[in-house]
Each structure stands twice: as structure tokens, then as C-alpha cells.
A = this chain, B = another copy of it.
Amino acid sequence: MIVGVSQSSGKMSRSDELTREGVPWNEFTDRRGSEISGEAEPSQYMYQIIEGAVRTYKLLSDGRRQINAFHLPGDVFGVESGEVNRFTADAIIETRVRLTGRQIIFENASCRKSSAMDNILHLITKNLEHAESHMLLLGRKTSLEKVAAFVLEMDKRPTAAGVMILPMGRRDIADYLGLTIGTVSRALSILKNRGALTFIRQAQREIVLRDRRKLAELES
């Protein structure tokens, strides 16, 4: 990681507000694939992504992996940890994050009284909400429904600007949806053949949604 210094800026979302509580943030750049924080390590920091993409996941002993969430620019993660991290976080592509000690937030009396606590509660609640919908997806949706839901979810993210550029590969998508690479690939082909989306310039990670209505129906 390369150390830098950050300054809060940009639009005021709920997560950005946290950065205005007079808390010092340090900025880092993580290379593609590098680990930001590891499962079962003491959790010291919370992170906000400036640029890039991060995946958080859990592993089974034999290597099976479940990605809990993808974090894109603006997202905050690590707030919800207890004493130790419950999952691993690493950079999918080159990523700039800024971080701050968690105890600064939780032990600082002025923070507790301020709206910072509301923001933290809001962030954690959002996480929980996402986790609960994702359980429904993992437990009860078909592969086609899962992939349609994934595409629509990514479409709602700030990345979207006409063309959707996915930072993650098929392996990551599969581990997020509880599928295999092959099934993800097949489902995307089906969606393409049905006219719900198209790929750009033969690059499989650049997608244009052609029929959000059809996708929403397929999501179930």
C-alpha cells in the first residue's frame, strides 16, 4: 500500500457525511488483487473507496468462496466489524481507499452525540438490508434470476453511465451469486440472445442494458 493524505470532497451522500466529522482519514492505493484486511484479524479501520472496486468474502477450508458484497467508489465498509474482521477484503482492480481508525468514531464522545452515530447506524442497516435480500437470492432464485438481479444491481451503482463497465470477472460474479463460472456465462448469453443486454466491442466486461423491464421480470 502506498500512503497518501486525503481531503473530504464531492457530493454529500450519507456515507460522505461521516467524513465531515473532523475525523482524520489516510489515503492508500491498493494494487489489483491485494488484500486490504483479512478475516479474523483485529479490526482497526473503516474504509471508504475513492476509486476502484473491492470484494469482501468468506472462505471455506477447501477454498469455496462466498463474496458478500462488492464495494464501489463512495461505498464505506468495515464499520460493521466487531472486535475482529468477519471477512476478507481485497482490491479487484487498482483501488484507492481512505481509512480511519474505528475507535475514533466509536469512542469519541462528540461523535456519539452527533449525527455521526445516525450515519453509522444507517450504513450498518443498509448492509443488513443488502445481506437479507442477498440471502433470498442465494437460497431461492434460479441461475437466470440471479444473473438478471446482479446486472440490475450493478446498473444502479454509480459506475453506470450508459455503458456498464464491470470491474469484476466471471469468477467473482459466480462467487457472489453462488454459481459457477460456466453457469454465469451461460445465463449472460441467454440474456444477450433474448435482447435484454448486449456486450460492447467484444469486451465481455462492458455491458449495455437494452431491456430493463425484461430483466426485472426475469429477476422474479
Contacts of A62 in B (CB 8 A): 220
Please encode chain A, from 139 to 153, with 1 for each CB lying within 8 Å of some chain B CB and 0 for all others: 111000000000000
- Are B178 and A140 in contact, with the CB atoms below 8 A? yes
A68 within 8 A of partner (CB) = yes
A131 within 8 A of partner (CB) = yes
- Are A140 and B64 in contact, with the CB atoms below 8 A? yes
Contacts of A103 in B (CB 8 A): none
Distance in Å from the Cβ of A190 to the closest Cβ of chain B? 20
Please encode chain A, from 59 to 77, with 1 for each CB lying within 8 Å of some chain B CB and 0 for all others: 0111011101000000000
- Are B131 and A128 in contact, with the CB atoms below 8 A? yes
Residues of A in contact (CB 8 Å), total 37
Segment of A3-11, A17-25, A80-88 engaged in the interface with chain B: A80-88
Cα distance, A122 to B175, chains bound together (Å)? 28
Contacts of A64 in B (CB 8 A): 140-141, 220
Cα distance, A15 to B138, chains bound together (Å)? 29
- Are B133 and A131 in contact, with the CB atoms below 8 A? no
Q: Which residue of B lies closest to A56 (CB)?
A: B132
Known: A65-B140, A112-B112. A58 touches B125 (CB 8 A): no
Contacts of A139 in B (CB 8 A): 66, 138, 175, 177-178
- Are A60 and B129 in contact, with the CB atoms below 8 A? no
Q: Which residue of B lies closest to A87 (CB)?
A: B132
Known: A62-B220, A220-B60. A125 touches B82 (CB 8 A): yes
- Are B138 and A178 in contact, with the CB atoms below 8 A? yes
- Are A136 and B80 in contact, with the CB atoms below 8 A? no
**A68, A81, A140, most chain B CB atoms within 10 A:** A140
Residue of B82, B112, B129, B135 near A138 (CB, 8 A) is: B135
Q: 3 nearest interchain CB pairs?
A: A139-B178, A131-B131, A138-B138
